[in-house]
Amino acid sequence: MRKLTLAIAVIAPMLGHAASAEDTIKIGYIDPLSGGGASVGEGGLKTFQYLADELNAKGGILGHKIEILPLDNKTNPQESLVQAQKAIDAGAHYITQGNGSSVAAALEDFVTKHNTRNPGKEVLYFNYAAVDPSLTNEKCSFWHFRWDASSDIKMEALTNYMKDVPAIKKVYLINQDYSFGQSVRSDARKMLGAKRPDVQIVGDELHPLLKVTDFSPYIAKIKASGADSVVTGNWGQDFALLLKAAADAGLKVNWYTYYAGGAGGPTAIKQTGLDHQVFQITEGFPNSGNQVAMDFEKAFRAKVNLSLWYPRAVNEMRMFKAAAEKANSIDPVKVAAALEDMKFDVLDGGQGFMRKDDHQFFQPIYISSFGKLAANEPFDEENTGWGWHLVSRVDTPQAMVSTTCKMVRP
Amino acid sequence: MTKATNSTSKAGADTSSGSLRFYGVWLIGIVALIVLPMIFSSGGSLTSFSLIGIAIVFALSYNILLGQTGLLSFGHAVHYGLGGFAACHMMNAVVSHGWPIPLPFIPLFGGLGGLVFAVIIGWVMTKRAGTVFAMISLGIGELVASSSLILRSVFGGESGITTDRTALPKMFGWSFGPQLQVYYLIAFWLVLSAIAMYALTRTPLGRICNAVRDNPERVQFIGYDPHVVRYLAFCFAGFFAGVAGGLAAINFEIANSAYLGAIQSGFVLFSTFIGGTAYFFGPILGAILVTYLQLGLANLTSAWQLYFGIIFIGIVMFSPGGIAGLVMMHRPLVRAGTLWTVIPSYLVAVVPTLALACGVILSIETVARYSGGEPIDLFGIGFKPTSPVTWVAAVVLVIGGAFVARLSWRRIAEAWDRAATVARDRGYLA
Amino acid sequence: MLELVVISTLNGVLFGMLLFLLSSGLTVIFSMMGVLNFAHASFYMLGAFFGFQLTKWIGFWPALVLAPLLVGAIGMAVERYGLRNTHKHGHVAELLLTFGLAFAIEEIVSMIWGKSPLDYRVPALLDFPAFTIFSTNYPAYKIFMLAVSVIIFVALLIVLKRTRVGLIVQAALTHPHMVGHLGHNVGRVFMAVFGVGSALAGLAGVIAGPALVTQSDMAASLGPILFVVIVFGGLGSLPGAFIASLVIGLVQTFAVALDGSLASAFGPLDPSAGPSVLTDIWNVTIAQVAPIVPYVLLVIILIVRPMGLMGTRES
């Protein structure tokens, strides 16, 4: 993969890469490949490389081969901009990124400025996992497309599910104190209030991001509030520690989460023994029951040795191909035009579409729970023996939100 | 630690040629800054040069603390970050109020941002030097970095605040959209700050800073308060770190909490120390090398942090003067004309040392890539991390290399001693 | 209310004791050698990972003994081949050496064990609720952690203050030559002290690993707070570190339990003024700022009492 020798490549950043082989479509993959976020970034990279191989095996896009350029941003916005510049120098007209909304915001801003200042050298930014709603609202850009459901879409879908569950009476919100956590919290308040006015929100907590080592005081508060359900956007150690503290204290509630399936999440759930009490909201999951998706999952696991955490990456790459073929060009401006309002059959079944107004992709959303597997559910997670089980599917029309985006078109 | 003073007092003997050489070095530096982008003109290299320029200003500002005054700070990025935020806010304010301030003046406001915070917090922080100061700086760094996420209206949360550098009033018809123009802006400020910081080391304050570093009690006896001296040095360092932050804000058009964090503080400590704190040009070398490695290494190996750690440990243990210290060791030999006696032993040492380095790289990469099974490409030779051949090669290189390298290093030391003795006899002090 | 107070007190004490477990080794090394070991949190991480690996191979209880010994041995090697050579360049150089070491250890750990959290479990013997207060369970493992911390505190105090060994060690710091002339190997004393300090960190790692997340960034996330503890308590003072751990544990836990903000105390600000620093400060809850409270405490104590709570000297 890293073809240059150690010696030569140290000099390479100085000289810049000559744009070789115009034939290939280069996609700059900008995500953490070292440091704390590396396990997530490596997983995404393997997914994209798998997808590129898959497309290349079928002749690529309009006869062009696809090459993924791995670029390490160390989850740092400034570093991401440097890496984006590197990708552009190497001849990439497409970049993709997902981890960290702060990185996404910086990249979106960078791509917009770059395209205004360098007409004829446009770059498209495909976002596969940064879910901050502002990216397709006040900060929206013509050059940015998002395949992941933004956090408000997920909350819309989740509350559409919750409104039909009468057992939910008291909800506690606990989130990380940053833009994503705050949008989860405010959306939950707003949407639950509108759809289930009888549900009481008995607590609304924001804790600092990745700084809490002991969640037992928070658990004490949840317990004191008498909540029956907790909604949380926590991920990483903030999720694992929260759940551990809850299990230690013997807290019995249902957990509605965004990222329980993230790296380390399944391990933590299995440790606590919370069987089918942790729910996750995603655009797809391994045991969805859709045969095509499950075959894909099987092949993917066999080759990459990971579970498919990004079904949206599959949608992104396949839809990119479809759009290029529709435009009959790999020119970014034409591909962008073709993507607008494009309809697409997603991996896990059902139809989604890329809304022209804000470049947000809308798709069916699934709510699944984690626990012991049934006979027809072959896929477990992180070798725990437990896996995801379908609880509810929310169709595209029930998973849509409005936008405030005022798109500036070139 | 007083080598810097030695070398300059020596230069007094032959003033005219000394000052000629002195200005010559600066001139060469300036010309190099102007010419560089004409040789390497790709967007990526311009970005690299810009980043290196910013890193140099930042590292030089840090050396006012570490090298000049002997204050080890683990939170220097606070000033850098606040400078960045100040610059970003200023740019947005200029645009929204229509003030006639063109972009090249913005780093000044960055500097003020860094300075204001240093003025406020510095008095408490600099009460003590040494380990206590290091710990306080660490705590303050954490405090500011965490608070920046809470004070959203100023710091814009974790996504930070963005700005558009082209929206400011134009100067000489430059819009500062293209990276080349930004590079020249950074180069201009780099030269300006470097001259200012160099001049600072020549002032009485700069000299008394050195005295505070070496012996605070004696400074007290001659009537200066070390606390005040440390405070002043801290403020100057804060100002120039703010300038660097302002330049970074212009370059990236964004300021966020990553500017303020521990990683940035660690980065400047690495650059400065690896470059060498005892000489003015040390941090410059360090900033170039570390920025460069950071940009290049990260895409080559996921274990780049480990290489950084090893290089750093090596420097701390074997060459506390940094790269600059190593270079300057040769000065008396060059003057005495005995350098040629050392060179053969250097050449002999190159091979085993390289073998040792290759062995270490090979071992690290084998471990790092063992699970992924990615091949290692070392100088065009491919190695499979899972194959025993690679392991044997790594072990042989490390052990054999270390054994032979030690012998060759001993030879260097002997040759060195001889050459240095001769140099000393000829009246050139090492 | 009573429920929250009782539970918060308990949680605070438990968390404080964990902090003490972590910072005891750091304090021992500092008070004996004057070296501030930046890599201490990394030794703690090594302890957790060794503990995990050994638990997998030979079970938790042997690991509890072996892993700290291993970490202690590594610590001794670091002292012998690293710090001793750097000593002549002063304490700042020693600090920098451990700083570089922390960097390297983190990367080595993530190279070997990966970057994802490990499945390091509480031993079955202690995996039950010890008691229940206000329907909240307290796991036996946490009580075990508490007990270990207290035992270590008492044992360290006795060894350092009441035995001959402690006397020699303390004298070696202030009068190394005299101690040397009395026939003790000062170098070996330092090596042993550093080894013991590292082993304590390792022990903390083995014990805290299952309770917290065992992951390659665990050192970086806990490191700064340890320094706050020992500076707050007074550099080099063991009782100071003990009290500081308790204070920080309690303050942080109670801060989380409180929902108040300036807005809730004095009413909301005039919304027409728009967002500003004032509204940020006005609306932030005490719970939100809980984790930065220790750093605020640090700054306050350094202004009011620069040598820390129980410190005797200034640096």
Write out the two tokens for B54.
Answer: 């910013």
**Three-state secondary-structure class, residue A402:** coil
Convert the pLDDT of each residue in B404-413 to its tens digit. Answer: 888 888 888 8
Quote the CA–CA distance of B115 and B79 in Å, as a whole number.
Answer: 7
List domains and CATH numbers for chain B.
32-319 (1.10.3470), 331-425 (no CATH)
Please name the chains neighbouring A, where neighbouring means 3+ C-beta pairs under 8 angstroms. Answer: B, C
Convert the pLDDT of each residue in B41-63 to its tens digit. Answer: 877 788 889 999 999 999 999 99
Quote the CA–CA distance of A73 and A79 in Å, as a whole number.
Answer: 5
Task: Report the pLDDT value the prediction gives residue B10, as an integer from 0 to 100.
Answer: 41
ipTM: 0.85
C126–chain B Cβ distance below 8 A for any pair:
no
Quote the CA–CA distance of A75 and A103 in Å, as a whole number.
Answer: 7
Closest alpha carbon within chain C to B369: C111
The torsion angle over the Cα atoms of residues B238, B240, B246 and B251, rounded to 10 degrees, is: -130
Task: Report the pLDDT value the prediction gives residue B16, as an integer from 0 to 100.
Answer: 66
Task: Report the pLDDT value the prediction gives residue A146, as an integer from 0 to 100.
Answer: 95
Write out the two tokens for C2.
Answer: 């009573």
Is the confidence at residue C48, as pLDDT, over 70? Answer: yes
Instruction: Report, as an integer, the average pLDDT of B372-392.
Output: 76
Contact flag B40-A14 (C-beta cutoff 8 Å): yes
Contacts of C234 (CB under 8 A, 6+ apart): C240, C241, C244, C307, C308, C309, C310, C311, C312
**Which range among A16-25, B122-131, C215-224, C236-245 shows the weakest confidence by mean pLDDT?**
A16-25
Closest alpha carbon within chain B to A14: B45
Contact flag B303-A34 (C-beta cutoff 8 Å): yes
A226–chain C Cβ distance below 8 A for any pair:
no
A23–chain C Cβ distance below 8 A for any pair:
no
**Three-state secondary-structure class, residue A94:** strand
From chain A, the residues in CB contact with C204 under 8 A are none
Report the amino acid identity of residue A41: G
Convert the pLDDT of each residue in C244-275 to its tens digit. Answer: 999 999 988 888 777 777 777 777 766 666 66
Convert the pLDDT of each residue in C97-148 to its tens digit. Answer: 998 999 899 889 988 887 777 778 888 888 888 888 777 778 888 889 999 9
Quote the CA–CA distance of A368 and A389 in Å, as a whole number.
Answer: 5
Quote the CA–CA distance of A181 and A185 in Å, as a whole number.
Answer: 6
Question: Quick check: C238 and C152 in contact, CB under 8 A?
Answer: no
Instruction: Report, as an integer, the average pLDDT of B302-315.
Output: 86
**Mind telling me how many Å the CA of A4 is from chain C's nearest CA?**
22
Of A149 and B9, the structure prediction assigns the larger pLDDT to A149
Task: Report the pLDDT value the prediction gives residue B149, as an integer from 0 to 100.
Answer: 81
C4–chain A Cβ distance below 8 A for any pair:
yes
B381-383/C129-133 β-pairing: unpaired
Nearest to C100 among B131, B309, B371 (CB): B309
Question: Quick check: B346 and B411 in contact, CB under 8 A?
Answer: no
**Mind telling me how many Å the CA of A15 is from chain B's nearest CA?**
6
Write out the two tokens for A210.
Answer: 């990745």
Q: What is the DSSP letter of B379?
A: T
Write out the two tokens for B63.
Answer: 């050396």
Question: Quick check: B83 and B108 in contact, CB under 8 A?
Answer: no
- List, as ranges, residues 236-265 from C with C-beta within 8 Å of B: none
A343-345/A351-354 β-pairing: antiparallel
Is the confidence at residue C297, as pLDDT, over 80? Answer: yes
Write out the two tokens for B422.
Answer: 């001769």
Contact flag B273-C296 (C-beta cutoff 8 Å): no
Task: Report the pLDDT value the prediction gives residue A22, as an integer from 0 to 100.
Answer: 55
Quote the CA–CA distance of B114 and C146 in Å, as a whole number.
Answer: 44
Quickly state the pLDDT bin for B338 (edges 50, 70, 90). confident
Strand partners, B252: none
Average pLDDT score over chain C:
85
Q: Compute φ and ψ for A207, nearest 5 degrees.
A: -120, 155
Sequential DSSP letters for A191-249: HHHHH-TTSEEEEEEEE-TTT-S--HHHHHHHHHHT-SEEEE---THHHHHHHHHHHHH
Quote the CA–CA distance of B297 and B284 in Å, as a whole number.
Answer: 19
**Mind telling me how many Å the CA of B159 is from chain C's nearest CA?**
16
- List, as ranges, residues 69-88 from C with C-beta within 8 Å of B: 82, 85-86
Instruction: Report, as an integer, the average pLDDT of B378-385.
Output: 74
Closest alpha carbon within chain A to C221: A211
From chain A, the residues in CB contact with B288 under 8 A are none
Quote the CA–CA distance of A26 and A320 in Å, as a whole number.
Answer: 13
Nearest to B44 among A1, A16, A34 (CB): A16
Task: Report the pLDDT value the prediction gives residue B389, as an integer from 0 to 100.
Answer: 83
Contact flag C117-A264 (C-beta cutoff 8 Å): yes
Task: Report the pLDDT value the prediction gives residue B20, as an integer from 0 to 100.
Answer: 81
Nearest to A213 among C135, C142, C212 (CB): C212
What Cα–Cα distance (Å) separates residue B273 from each residue in B70, B327, C130?
12, 14, 51
Closest alpha carbon within chain B to A2: B300
**Mind telling me how many Å the CA of B6 is from chain A's nearest CA?**
36
Is the confidence at residue B85, as pLDDT, over 90? Answer: yes
Contact flag B131-C36 (C-beta cutoff 8 Å): yes
Contacts of B412 (CB under 8 A, 6+ apart): B342, B345, B346, B349
Contact flag C4-A220 (C-beta cutoff 8 Å): yes
From chain C, the residues in CB contact with A250 under 8 A are 129, 132, 135-137
Convert the pLDDT of each residue in C176-194 to its tens digit. Answer: 788 888 888 888 888 998 9
> Low-confidence residues of chain A, pLDDT below 50?
1-21
Nearest to C295 among B131, B142, B312 (CB): B142
Contacts of B35 (CB under 8 A, 6+ apart): none
